[in-house]
Chain A
Amino acid sequence: MAGHKQDHDFYIPNSSIWPPVTCLGAGLFMFGMVSLLKFSSFAGKSLIVLGLLVLVFGMVQWFRVLIAESRARGFVNPPRVLDLANRYGMVFFIVSELMFFAGFFAAYFYIYGFNLEWPPSNIETLAAHLPAINTLILLTSGVTITWSHHALIKGNRAEARKFMFATWLLGVVFLLFQAYEYAHAAFSIDSGAYGSTFYMLTGFHGFHVFVGTVMLMVAHARLNRGDFTKENHFYFEAAAWYWHFVDVVWVGLFLFVYIIPS
């Protein structure tokens, strides 16, 4: 928009190849899934790997462009409308994720109420120690991320980095514990409705913890690069919101899947 003075604060990006590249990745992934499930396992796996590579590559490039644009603005406070757009966008994204889990929780409650005994007597349920520790881990990580955020606001970057590191480390530990639990469970995803709902809920939650952990790692890397300022650190906040969302879903899971039925 050279030579033309803009009389509004909206940011209009140039054409970009990265959205269609990520579409291609998602499309290849889906065709790979079809092949894996019904036709050739080898072709399916190859297509899935290729699709994921293209998808992740496209997303990384897309986000690199976003970060570069943010850096190009020079970490001044962005215009209010831009900042608001990002915030609204992230909030509504989390709303959609919440509704995704709501669907699975609804299925869980329906099946819970529908079955005469829950958990079914032939299921050897998991002890609640590990999930209790995991609850503590996630709740602690909610504290550490807030600590990191406040440190950043106060301008204490070293402390912000330290607590950000602690947060994603807790995320990793959570995932390891969950993997351990999966490996030692006496039932699997095809052990009737109990196994189905258990693995579907905890599995999708675990995937979201993984995504949140990656977001936090990126936030850590950006902190190291000196990307955020005291007032302007939207990405940090978005990652934190997402992390709290993952946390809240886990508390629901812990209560309704582990504690109340047993």
Chain B
Amino acid sequence: MSHTAVANNAHTSPKKKGFLYYLTTVNHKDIGAMYLVTALAFFFIGGLMAMFIRAELMAEGYQLVGQTITLMDLGFWQWKVSFGPDFFNQMTAMHATFMIFFAIIPALLGLGNYVVPIMIGSPDMAFPRLNNWSFWILPFAGMLMLGSFLVPGGANAAGWTVYPPLTNAQYSPGAGIDMWILAVHLAGASSILGAINFIVTILNMRAPGMTLFKMPMFSWSMLITAWLQLVATPVLAGAVTMLLTDRNFGTSFFNMAGGGDPVLFQHIFWFYSHPAVYIMILPAFGIISQVIETFSRKPLFGYATMVWAMAGIAILGCLVWAHHMFTVGMDPRAQIVFMFMTMFIAVPTGIKIFNWLATMWQGTLDFTVPMKYAIAFVGMFTIGGLSGVMLAIPPIDYAMHDTYFVVAHIHYVLFAGSFLGIMAGIYYWFPKITGRMYNEKWGNIHFWLTFIFSNLTFFPMHFLGLMGMPRRIPNYHPMYTDLNLIASIGSFALGAVQIILVINFFYSKKHGKPAGDNPWGAKTLEWSVSSPPPEHNFEKMPVVK
């Protein structure tokens, strides 16, 4: 392994890297890049499912459900697809599943994997072979999920939340739910071991002088996220294991007749799945902090409060799960406790929003593509955060529960939050990862179209929800038609313009202008090494003063 040779001419790769190389690699940068490419593929798969949902909801009545559509007609041979009555339900469940477990989380982990070790001055992750494992288990999980569409009964059609009794053996007899559960087991194992890897890397492998409170904010966000994954994911594994045995081995955890309770599942499921929301947003907070800091040409305002705010969000985030279940008939005292805990989260989140604004205040702002994404993130995420505070109030939640208002809320958090954050990060680190600049003009076009169409898609959903349109139902009352049409048009355009991202990146990766080591004038360590970085990141161990 001629490590020095690679470092000296980083732009010419030493030899062509084949499948076997990527299968066995333990290099955090290769693994991070594989995570990103995988996430991109699953993002398009999940996106197509969203397109199906929006196509069905474009007008009142049934557009696709129960229809047979001829995709290709060659006279002697026709390619037809027919959509059964529960195909819409499969789409809503699997759209969420793919976006959460296979697109957003892997994309954030991929960025973390690539950037965090360099940021803290480490040659690699703490357990490089385990890192390889955490990635390569994902394709198997993905195959199980995708394969579940092919089995009799089809994929999970009971929502990504897989609540029993809808998911018990009586109402979901097919293999879809079982495959969903086993795939979640694999993805969960990947998540837990990946979390251990991140925590140990960040606690143990920082360069001399890189104290915890000198770490860039993105490293902090990955550390706190990893803690959440470590503590919450095993509980999800337990929840879905109980569901699996209820379905197949006659246990009665969630079966009233045997002394169990379906509400128990909701408690355990949300003990993971509420922190999962923070697993998907805290790294985006970290990315935004790096981007705003760099392009405001100022140090991050209130660094320590940013760290404590993130830790506060993580701790509170573990104590608010029952706000997803106000309508199950919970003790009103418990509802009040969960309401206040949830509203408290707005305090540390507000601290972060104001600190970002204060960082930009009187800064020399540089409106590059990542900065535009970051600013859009701050504005749009605030909308999602505020609708979250509304939903935290039990009487309001009684009215809004399972309406499109909730759909609007989670898309403002996960699309306008996580997705825009990921985009900011990808544009920001693209020059570092590939050694070349993306096309600024097309990057801007991609940003503006994404920004406009995402609001066109998701903003009308607030009104639909307030008007009472239920989620996960393929047909609706005619009074919802106009807003649904707007949302559908927005979503098709939003999906279509993502092609720009792919073309820009795959073109610029080969033909973009060489980026140089530090095109942004950023201060963190990953910009002190060549682009792309040498095999083990640093020729000499960096020392932080």
Q: Give the interface of A toward B (CB within 8 A).
A: 1-4, 7-8, 10, 12-20, 22-24, 26-27, 30-31, 33-34, 37-39, 62, 81, 84-85, 88-89, 92-93, 95-97, 99-100, 102-104, 106-107, 110-111, 114-115, 120, 189-190, 192-197, 199-200
Which residues from chain A contact B123 at a C-beta distance below 8 Å? 8, 10, 12
Stretch at the interface among B22-30, B335-343, B444-452, B525-533: B22-30
Partner of A96, one of B26, B182, B230: B230
Closest 6 CB pairs of A and B: A103-B238, A190-B250, A27-B140, A193-B259, A196-B251, A100-B234
Stretch at the interface among B85-93, B130-138, B423-431: B130-138
CB of B133 within 8 A of CB of A33, answer: no
Q: How many Å lie between the Cα of A85 and that of B126 in the bound state?
A: 7
Majority secondary structure, A binding face: helix
Beyond A107-B238, A110-B267, is A85–B204 a contact (Cβ under 8 Å)?
yes
B166 on interface, CB distance cutoff 8 Å: no
CB of A200 within 8 A of CB of B178, answer: no
B253 on interface, CB distance cutoff 8 Å: yes
Which residues from chain A contact B205 at a C-beta distance below 8 Å? 10, 81, 85
Q: How many Å lie between the Cα of A26 and that of B141 in the bound state?
A: 10
Which residues from chain B contact A81 at a C-beta distance below 8 Å? 204-205
Shortest CB–CB separation between residue A108 and chain B, in angstroms? 10
CB of B182 within 8 A of CB of A30, answer: yes
Chain B interface size range: 35 or more
B200 on interface, CB distance cutoff 8 Å: yes
Q: How many Å lie between the Cα of A159 and that of B200 in the bound state?
A: 34
Beyond A103-B268, A107-B268, is A96–B1 a contact (Cβ under 8 Å)?
no
Beyond A33-B182, A88-B203, is A26–B26 a contact (Cβ under 8 Å)?
no
CB of A38 within 8 A of CB of B132, answer: no
Stretch at the interface among B241-249, B300-308, B393-401, B411-419: B241-249
Closest to A100 in B: B234
Beyond A89-B200, A193-B252, is A8–B541 a contact (Cβ under 8 Å)?
yes
Shortest CB–CB separation between residue B315 and chain A, in angstroms? 15
CB of A15 within 8 A of CB of B250, answer: no
CB of A38 within 8 A of CB of B200, answer: no
Shortest CB–CB separation between residue B21 and chain A, in angstroms? 7
CB of B250 within 8 A of CB of A189, answer: yes
Beyond A20-B132, A37-B178, A85-B204, is A27–B137 a contact (Cβ under 8 Å)?
yes
CB of B24 within 8 A of CB of A16, answer: yes
Which residues from chain B contact A92 at a C-beta distance below 8 Å? 195-196, 199-200, 230
B478 on interface, CB distance cutoff 8 Å: no
